[in-house]
């Protein structure tokens, strides 16, 4: 299995999906305990949720599970959220802080290095190449990092997570116009809650690639899974009715970003 799938689009928008994959090599799966084998921390059905919303967008999607290696973590192992509970580049616990490996079977430094080379690096090589292609073709690229998570995880955050969690690393990863487009659409969505740079300010992908001064913009969207799953428990089934309502809002966001980026691209040509 290829560690990454790339669909090259025909507009300045790139949808990145680092956590939707469920592939775990047999040798790694055999080392997981019963808790780890649930793969509970998947961004469940994230590709289905975004499918067809902006047909002309590029898609860069990891096929491997985050328990193999987390494609949205700094490869150096540096924490994205110092002082807060989080999971590492090669997680040994789930989002509830519960171990995912059999005793004595967690990966050592050499194993982590192999996984970085075999999974993390190819994903980011593909993503970087697609960003470069889009930037070269249109003069601008907007990386929209697609994520979702359970809405209640006391180990990571207090209370219930807002439905839309927009991350720009405190405005550093994109220009204010992009941020405002997303914030305004989410704020106007009836029946949904939203926050900008709350618990999730943008992971390594957003922070690493967001270079507004080079016309490469990045923004992360972390969605509460309760808004499109039937339940935030096994089997994490897709909720068609909930998802349909959410998809309308996501479609509005992506179309608005594409329209703005297209305008910027035309201005540069002129």
Instruction: Please indicate, yes or no, whether the overall pTM of this predicted structure exceeds 0.85.
Output: yes
As a whole number of angstroms, the distance between CA 228 and CA 153 comes to: 17
Burial class of residue 170 (count of CB atoms within 10 Å of its CB; 0-12, 13-18, 19+): exposed
Share of the chain above pLDDT 70, in %: 97
Which of 28-32, 74-78, 207-211, 221-225 has the lowest average pLDDT? 74-78
Pairing assessment for the beta strands 141-149 and 194-196 based on DSSP bridges: unpaired
pLDDT at 270: 43
| DSSP designation for 138 | H
Q: What is the mean pLDDT of residues 210-231?
A: 97
Residue 118 tokens read as 């075999």
The pLDDT tens digits for 126-157 are 999 999 999 999 999 999 999 999 999 999 99
4-269 has which CATH code? Answer: 3.40.630.40
Cα atoms found within 13 Å of the Cα of residue 62, Cβ hemisphere only: 34
Percent of the chain with pLDDT over 90: 91
The full set of domain ranges for the chain reads 4-269
């Amino acid at each position: 299995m290829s560690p990454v799938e790339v669909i090259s689009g025909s507009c300045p928008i790139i949808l990145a999906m680092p956590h939707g994959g469920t592939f775990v090599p047999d040798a790694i799966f055999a080392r997981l305990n019963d808790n780890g084998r649930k793969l509970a921390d998947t961004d469940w059905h994230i590709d289905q949720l975004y499918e067809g919303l902006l047909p002309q967008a590029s898609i860069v999607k990891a096929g491997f599970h985050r328990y193999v290696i987390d494609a949205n973590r700094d490869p150096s192992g540096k924490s994205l959220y110092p002082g807060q509970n989080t999971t590492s580049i090669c997680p040994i616990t789930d989002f509830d802080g519960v171990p995912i490996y059999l005793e004595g079977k967690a990966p050592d430094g050499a194993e982590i290095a192999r996984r970085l080379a075999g999974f993390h690096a190819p994903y980011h090589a593909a993503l970087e190449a697609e960003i470069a292609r889009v930037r070269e073709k249109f003069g601008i690229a907007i990386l929209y990092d697609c994520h979702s998570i359970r809405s209640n995880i006391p180990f990571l955050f207090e209370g219930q997570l807002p439905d839309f969690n927009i991350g720009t690393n405190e405005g550093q990863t994109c220009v204010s116009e992009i941020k405002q487009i997303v914030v305004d659409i989410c704020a106007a969505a009836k029946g949904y809650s939203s926050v900008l740079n709350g618990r999730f300010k943008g992971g390594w992908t957003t922070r690493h690639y967001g270079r507004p001064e080079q016309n490469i913009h990045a923004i992360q969207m972390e969605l509460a899974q309760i808004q499109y799953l039937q339940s935030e428990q096994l089997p994490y089934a897709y909720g068609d009715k909930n998802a349909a309502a959410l998809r309308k809002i996501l479609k509005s966001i992506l179309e608005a970003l594409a329209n703005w980026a297209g305008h910027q691209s035309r201005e540069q040509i002129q």
